[in-house]
Amino acid sequence: MKTPSHDLIVFGATSFVGQILTRYLAEQFGAHGHLKWAIAGRSEAKLAALRNSLGLAAGKLPVVVADAADEVALRQMCQDTRVVISTVGPYALYGEPLVKACAETGTDYCDLTGEVQWIRRMIRAYEPAARKSGARIVHCCGFDSIPSDLGVHFLQQRSRERFGEPCTEVKMRVKAARGGFSGGTAASLINVVKEAATNPALRKELANPYSICPEGYAPQVRQPNLKSAQYDADFDAWVAPFVMSGINTRIVQRSNALSKQAYGKDFRYDEAMLMGRGLKGRVAATGLTAGLAGFMLAGALPPTRWALERFVLPAPGEGPSAEVQRKGFFDLRFLGRTTDGRTLRVKVTGDRDPGYGSTARMLGQAGACLVLDLPESGRKGGFWTPATLFGDRLIERLVAHSGLTFEVLED
């Protein structure tokens, strides 16, 4: 078999998040450095403009042209690289042919999808091919769900060191975050709400905390599911539902399932936003809960969905400014509790806006981890999660190169 020309290809390099990612890869690895990477997408002209904007001459950074629906071009692209990073979304609309090509050609893959229903479909359809070919497929390599998945992994390791056992219950609370929305994320979110509005089976699937766990995996544990404003005594604060919990909790449960229940067979996990103390906290939590419910309802009904897309949400290709990304950050708190009530607190932070500045760096380092840290000789193909495939290696990369921190908080 011929040696691939590239280590890594960014497919969708001209997307809003893809442009931030390519700039980051250029800073981190240069062109033609120890990581040989290329940019790909459907428009040669846009790709050339992107390469020029990075200050790289033609020939310095290879360009690959492929449409997300062109299976032949995607297969050729996969056969010429070890790893593909994809930012072409909504993935439920455009992503399947590339996952199929990677699974069948043994090409490693990571992306930014947060679309549970699509991930489930991909696992069911292509896990056998990925196992056979050795392709390692890792969805959710951005803000959803790396901080959650690696945050729990980190906490459970400290728990085993300190208490000799994992925590049966873990809560993640968003203490603070600042950033903005992009058109691609808005389109992906609206697409899920739209599909769910007309499909009761999908609504049931989205409500199942184990929906992307291997078939037949169904622990008899009731997972917490925050739907309204509540007081959380562990954090002495009011909490409101967190919009990303629908994907993050599923990824964390899949990590537990894939690791032979390393977090325990009774493991419970939930996520929420910290809204403050007293009456002010209660009002804020109630207001956010109502706002979220209103958004979901507006997204489900055709006339209000049209108005949201037309007047409120950013269009595809748009997103937060460089200044908003630079001034953005996130601060997540985890509380773990063992069966006999011992507790451990962990903090995970990022120094850029969660959705773009930090997400692009996380995705870039996930791709680099596949190329540089996980030798193909040790490969076991299949659909992984960030914690089960990358684990500590990615934490080290994120701390060293992506502005993330992972630390235990002493009481």
Ligand X SMILES: NC(=O)c1ccc[n+]([C@@H]2O[C@H](COP(=O)([O-])OP(=O)(O)OC[C@H]3O[C@@H](n4cnc5c(N)ncnc54)[C@H](OP(=O)(O)O)[C@@H]3O)[C@@H](O)[C@H]2O)c1
Binding site for ligand X (CB under 6 A): 12, 14-18, 41-43, 46, 67-69, 87-91, 94, 112, 114, 142-144, 182-185, 188, 316-317, 319, 355-356, 359
Q: 117 or 168: whose CB is closer to ligand X?
A: 117
Q: 17 or 346: whose CB is closer to ligand X?
A: 17
Per the structure block, which two tokens stand in for 67? Answer: 């449409």
Nearest to 386 by CA among 95, 129, 148: 148
Instruction: Please tell me the distance from the alpha carbon of residue 267 to that of residue 245, in angstroms, as a whole number.
Output: 16
Q: 156 or 185: whose CB is closer to ligand X?
A: 185
Q: 103 or 116: whose CB is closer to ligand X?
A: 116
CB of 295 vs ligand X, minimal distance in Å: 16
Phi and psi (nearest 5°) for 22? -65, -35
CB of 73 vs ligand X, minimal distance in Å: 10
Q: 87 or 253: whose CB is closer to ligand X?
A: 87
CB of 137 vs ligand X, minimal distance in Å: 15
Residue-wise burial string across 48-66, b where 16 or more C-beta atoms lie within 10 A, e elsewhere: eebbeebebeeeebbbbeb
- 107 in Cβ contact with 82 (< 8 Å): yes
CB of 84 vs ligand X, minimal distance in Å: 12
CB of 313 vs ligand X, minimal distance in Å: 11
Instruction: Please tell me the distance from the alpha carbon of residue 132 to that of residue 374, in angstroms, as a whole number.
Output: 18
Nearest to 234 by CA among 335, 365, 162, 115: 335
- 146 in Cβ contact with 366 (< 8 Å): yes
Nearest to 286 by CA among 239, 226, 219: 239
Q: 18 or 106: whose CB is closer to ligand X?
A: 18
CB of 330 vs ligand X, minimal distance in Å: 11
Residue 356 has a CB neighbour count (10 Å cut-off) of: 28
Q: 51 or 345: whose CB is closer to ligand X?
A: 51
Q: List, in sequence order, the alpha helices (H) in 213-321.
A: 245-258, 278-300, 302-307
Closest CB to ligand X: residue number: 89
Name beta bridge partners: 11: 40, 86
